[in-house]
Amino acid sequence: MSQQKGFHVAVVGATGAVGQQMIQTLVKENFPISKLTLLSSARSAGKVVEVNGQEITIQEAKPESFEGVQIALFSAGGNVSKELAPEAVKRGAIVVDNTSAFRMDADKPLVVPEVNEADLHQHNGIIANPNCSTIQMVVALEPIRQQFGLKKIIVSTYQAVSGAGASAVEELMQQTKSIIAGETVEPKILPVSSDKNHYQIAFNAIPQIDKFQDNGYTFEEMKMINETKKIMHLPELQVSATCVRLPVAVGHSESVYFEVEKEGVSAQEIKALLKDAPGVILQDDPENQVYPMPANCVGKNDVFVGRIRKDIDEDRGFHMWVVSDNLLKGAAWNSVQIAERLVELGLVK
Ligand code: NAP
Ligand code: 12T
């Protein structure tokens, strides 16, 4: 972290599962920082954290907290973003927002740098960071869209509990211990803390992530559907999703079925494309049982792809398995990467 030259950066939600990764990622990526302001709710205000050998006191996030801030990374829930992101912009900051508050606003870019970096130029102070499951899927699909066109996607996800926050990770750990000890458990957080019913996640699979919508899809599924079309600039793309929570701490997995526009494409051609694609690591060698798994992706910025094969019946259909660290490329790294691009493009005041 450079002290002499750099930007005044604020992290909102600094004590959360995503916020902690944001701080670590800023340090790891050597982001040019002159001052780091860490914000949370009143609950954590006053806590001292060490960042790169320097002690920083967490403060309660308020409109005045953003005086002098140039870049604000928000990850404290949609309501906090709706209230405070405009206050940060008013004070001259550029906001990268990790919540779903602004993602579908027509005047706010929704950006995955490997896919639609150019959209950053259209910003009005706020740039939205997409949903974690969407990000890793579009990173893997964009090179395929560019080469062969993209007609349809059907995705099923296998998502880690850390997507639902630090308390969900704690619930998985405690529940697992209790069940092994033969004790009864009382689920309190998952699938959605504010919903009526809570279910056991340890040794289970829950087909609900975020709240149900009137059409029978969950909000997480609708985020994947709507955000994919916006990021790829393909309003006509057919997308459907089923999102499932697994007892995995970190790392989302996805089984992605997709249909390309071009006829006669081979699985080999798709593999060759992904081998050199930005942000992608191809791990596809069935003979040697090589394929991506969440346990191997934790702590890495990349999107890992394997199990690429042609559909048995549909010439234009393919299947693949996509895994990434949901807290990094799915959240903290994509946000810091956006901030890096904003600096390089001269868009930070
Ligand atoms: P978390 O572990 O529960 O952390 C929540 C953070 O928000 C904590 O730092 C908390 O501070 C802070 N906070 C809560 N209420 C606040 C308030 N009124 N004012 C200021 N700060 C407040 O949750 P998380 O997993 O890090 O996720 C945080 C948010 O990021 C989510 O709500 C979601 O919108 C977004 N998110 C996005 C993705 C994605 O797909 N890109 C993935 C996960 C999460 P205290 O310590 O004071 O409680
Ligand atoms: N509830 O899009 O529960 O801000 O895994 C991402 C993940 C919201 C989001 C989750 C969530 C988001 C989850």
User: pLDDT of 249-268, one tens digit each?
Assistant: 999 999 999 999 999 999 99
The whole-number average pLDDT for the span 133-137 is 99
The tens digit of pLDDT for each residue in 314-342 reads 999 999 999 999 999 999 999 999 999 99
240 lines ligand 1 (CB under 6 A): no
CA 220 to ligand 2 centroid distance, Å = 7
100 lines ligand 2 (CB under 6 A): yes
Q: Which ligand is nearest to the CA of 224?
A: 2
Does residue 2 carry a pLDDT above 70? no
Helices vs strands, H then E, count in the chain:
9, 14
The tens digit of pLDDT for each residue in 53-69 reads 999 999 999 999 999 99
Nearest to residue 320, comparing CAs of 331, 311, 332, 312? 311
The whole-number average pLDDT for the span 37-57 is 97
Q: What pLDDT, on the 0 to 100 scale, is given for residue 3? A: 43
- Residue 129: exposure state from Cβ atoms within 10 A (0-12, 13-18, ≥19): buried
> What structural domains and CATH numbers belong to the chain?
7-130+331-344 (3.40.50.720), 134-326 (3.30.360.10)
Does residue 7 carry a pLDDT above 60? yes
CA 113 to ligand 2 centroid distance, Å = 20
- What are the E-state strand segments in 160-270? 238-245, 252-260
Ligand 2 atom 12: the closest Cα is on which residue? 131
| 243 catalytic residue (yes or no) | no
The tens digit of pLDDT for each residue in 203-254 reads 999 999 999 999 999 999 999 999 999 999 999 999 999 999 999 999 999 9
The whole-number average pLDDT for the span 280-288 is 98
201 lines ligand 2 (CB under 6 A): no
Place of tokens 């405009």: 86
Q: Which of 132, 233, 297, 319 is catalytic?
A: 132
Mean pLDDT (the chain, rounded): 97
223 lines ligand 2 (CB under 6 A): yes
Radius of gyration of the chain (CA): 20
| 132 catalytic residue (yes or no) | yes
